[in-house]
């Protein structure tokens, strides 16, 4: 799967979920993009919310809060430009169909929040763009995830586009207790035949790093400049620049240590192979003319002669020369060789 220039099969995509941690301060949002880039993120991700399209008109306090955090379409375009200048991809989660249409010209992919993974009209609108989809799968069992995936695939087929999807394991709890992170579900998601990833709401960075060992090719972590910036909930469960940079370092180390996933000898082993492999050798001094019996042979390091498994090439054959105790027995030592 590719998102922009990033091949997720080759390298884990690390997403700094800025979300609404900017709290409506545009300059802070730009500073957070730069800090995310310096911490090693690949993507700066925001949320695009039009409060009156998300929340019931009766929820006046909620609408007022979200309105303070709201950016205009032009500001989102400028944030995308800031991200590009910092070397990051810009992605934002649309919370309504109009926002998806607005974002389409300047995002390389769409993120769907867990709360909207059964909001099928939004899934349809996003699918029709043909852009890759990062689908958070919180609140769903595997059958529910399969339904959402099938809906996107049906829309792609109708639109005649070749869409791609990453299924992100997520637990909708802020913060998520460590004993409910359920990271093993990442492997369950992989059964659906899609790229898998993890959107993390746990405190700390351990779960995000562990997810890579379980197959996550996208890792999303909430990002803040300061966990004590305000009482806004998301700051507390976010990684600050120092912790995010450490998370990136550990993820890249985990990638390197996991390797290609194919069982084969590694280059670092090659110099050691002769020293630790055994050769077939004489169990005692064997005089010329000896007909070799099984008890005449032993196996010793290093590998200078025949490997174990080649004993039949020697047993029953007559020695043409004397072989000292512990020396390798070679085919050229045999009569008629």
pLDDT in tens, 7-52: 999 999 999 999 999 999 999 999 999 999 999 999 999 999 999 9
Q: What is the mean predicted confidence (pLDDT) over 185-197?
A: 98
pLDDT band at 337 (very low <50, low <70, confident <90, very high): confident
Is 225 found in the same domain as 283?
no
Q: Single out the residue in 258, 277, 307 at which a domain terminates.
A: 258
317: containing domain: 267-333
Q: Is this prediction's pTM over 0.85? A: yes
Task: Tell me what the pLDDT averaged over the chain comes to.
Answer: 96
Could you tell me the CATH number of the domain that includes residue 297?
A: 3.90.1210.10
Of the three residues 224, 258, 292, the one that is the final residue of a domain is 258
When pLDDT is cut at 50, 70 and 90, the band that residue 234 belongs to is confident
pLDDT at res. 228: 83
Judgement on whether residues 242 and 313 belong to the same structural domain of the protein: no
226, 258, 290 - which closes a domain: 258
- What total number of domains does the chain contain? 2
Do 93 and 183 lie in one domain? The reply is: yes
Q: How far is CA 84 from CA 81, 110, 217, in A?
A: 5, 17, 22
Cβ atoms of 137 and 168 within 8 Å: the answer is: yes
Domain shared by 31 and 62, yes or no: yes
Together in a domain, 222 and 135: yes
> Are 278 and 249 in a shared domain?
no
Tens of pLDDT, residues 108-123: 999 999 999 999 999 9
């Amino acid at each position: 799967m590719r998102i922009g220039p990033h091949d997720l099969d080759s390298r884990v995509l690390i997403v700094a979920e800025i979300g609404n941690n900017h709290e409506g301060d545009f300059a802070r949002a730009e500073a957070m993009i730069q800090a995310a880039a310096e911490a090693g993120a690949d993507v700066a991700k925001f949320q695009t919310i039009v409060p009156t399209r998300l929340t019931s008109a009766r929820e006046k306090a909620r609408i007022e809060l979200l309105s303070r955090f709201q950016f205009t379409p032009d500001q989102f375009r400028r944030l995308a430009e800031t991200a590009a200048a910092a070397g990051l991809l810009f992605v934002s989660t649309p919370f309504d169909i109009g926002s998806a249409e607005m974002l389409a010209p300047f995002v390389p992919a769409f993120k769907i929040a867990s709360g909207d993974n059964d909001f099928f009209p939004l899934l349809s609108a996003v699918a029709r763009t043909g852009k890759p989809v990062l689908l958070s799968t919180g609140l769903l069992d595997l059958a529910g995830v399969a339904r959402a995936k099938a809906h996107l695939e049906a829309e792609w087929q109708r639109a005649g586009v070749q869409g791609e999807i990453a299924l992100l394991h997520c637990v909708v709890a802020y913060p998520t207790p460590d004993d409910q992170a359920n990271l093993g579900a990442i492997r369950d998601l992989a059964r659906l035949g899609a790229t898998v990833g993890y959107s993390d709401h746990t405190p700390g960075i351990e779960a995000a790093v562990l997810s890579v060992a379980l197959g996550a090719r996208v890792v999303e972590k909430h990002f803040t400049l300061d966990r004590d910036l305000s009482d806004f909930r998301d700051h507390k469960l976010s990684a600050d620049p120092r912790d995010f940079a450490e998370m990136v370092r550990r993820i890249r180390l985990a990638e390197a240590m996991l390797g290609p996933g194919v069982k084969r000898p590694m280059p670092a082993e090659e110099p050691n192979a002769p020293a630790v492999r055994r050769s077939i050798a004489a169990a005692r001094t064997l005089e010329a003319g000896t007909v070799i019996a099984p008890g005449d042979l032993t196996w010793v390091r290093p590998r200078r002669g025949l490997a174990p498994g080649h004993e039949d090439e020697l047993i029953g054959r007559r020695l043409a020369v004397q072989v000292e105790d512990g020396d390798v027995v070679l085919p050229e030592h045999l009569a008629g060789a």
